[in-house]
Structure 1
């Protein structure tokens, strides 16, 4: 079907090409147009342009907003945790045991030092330093080529924290015993 149409157009091309607009067509179109010319987008004095200061202020605000947004994103996003059991299941068990033991000891220490908050602050300062070291090790664990070694260092840190807490508890108990002993002696006199 399309072949026949093409053949027909080729055969009758001259008859199709004889239709051209008359010479007076454009003159008649111009006569029908309005006499006044209307500008489509004239430049007026009221058009406002942006000054360099305004553009810089907007750019600075955009940078600040993006910076704050990125900071919040980094703060709220947590790095993917490493499964300690996949590195060494035994160390993972020890880590859980020591962390729960440390929490128990810290609660006990807090209870025993309620009467002397300054002593608690002094004792907890040491533990805070060790916790900071532990957190750094935990952060380094993700990027370390020898994860088992870092995990051992983390466990050792927890062991030392436990030992320090035990010593602090013993000191407080001895202090309280001496205090109670002095109270009993003053009552006996």
Structure 2
């Protein structure tokens, strides 16, 4: 089976070997002149709009857009480093002082959820029961978050959101403790059955 790189190598080899033959077919120097005479001057469609910039100097609009984008990305990078915006940027932009706290709770909740999924992989009914309670808390959190930008008392709403995240974390910790006790009980039950036999 031929590789795509084989075709490329063969084409490059062919061009290299027959370069002199290709060079003999170059257009004459006056060809562009004859084309212009026949069609007239071509309309200039690729105009570059320039912005006035401090007097006589001009700035291409693409450069200006690049500068604006670079400044914006720098600001987001600063927010991320300063406040930990990566997990919940909507909340961080409204109240950046709490962004790090929201980020820490979100990371801990994600970690505990993953552990819960891992421990309940052999018992999907138990996971469904556990995740139902957690999903209700998560829906309440999302409702609070959607109300945040238009809330008259954002501080109270933020405290409610933090309390919700704490409840989610506490619930996950309790569920993981229950799962660990179930696993320990199963191990001791298996050990007792093996010693009786």
The correspondence of residues 76-91 of structure 1 with structure 2, limited to 5 A, is: 82-84=90-92, 87=95, 89=97, 91=98
Give the CA deviation at 1:84. Answer: 2.7
The structure 1 segments of at least 4 consecutive aligned residues displaced by more than 2 Å after TM superposition are 81-88
> Which residue does 1:179 correspond to in 2?
186
> Which residue does 1:43 correspond to in 2?
none
Q: 1:157 aligns with which of 161, 164, 177?
A: 164
TM-score, normalised on structure 1? 0.55
> Which residue does 2:75 correspond to in 1?
none
Matched, 1:121 2:123: no
Give the CA deviation at 1:88. Answer: 5.2
**Are the aligned partners of 1:102 and 1:162 in contact in 2 as well (CA < 8 Å)?**
yes
**Are the aligned partners of 2:120 and 2:126 in contact in 1 as well (CA < 8 Å)?**
yes
The correspondence of residues 70-149 of structure 1 with structure 2, limited to 5 A, is: 82-84=90-92, 87=95, 89=97, 91-149=98-156
Find the aligned partners of 1:83 and 1:181 in 2 and give their Cα distance: 47
Find the aligned partners of 1:86 and 1:135 in 2 and give their Cα distance: 15
Give the CA deviation at 1:85. Answer: 5.8
Find the aligned partners of 2:149 and 2:94 in 1 and give their Cα distance: 13
Find the aligned partners of 1:140 and 1:125 in 2 and give their Cα distance: 23
> Which residue does 1:60 correspond to in 2?
none
TM-score, normalised on structure 2? 0.52
Unaligned runs of 5+ in 2: 1-88
Find the aligned partners of 1:93 and 1:165 in 2 and give their Cα distance: 21
Q: RMSD of the alignment, in Å?
A: 1.4
**Are the aligned partners of 1:88 and 1:148 in contact in 2 as well (CA < 8 Å)?**
no
Find the aligned partners of 1:86 and 1:109 in 2 and give their Cα distance: 32
Give the CA deviation at 1:148. Answer: 1.5
Find the aligned partners of 2:159 and 2:96 in 1 and give their Cα distance: 10
Unaligned runs of 5+ in 1: 1-80
Find the aligned partners of 1:83 and 1:124 in 2 and give their Cα distance: 24
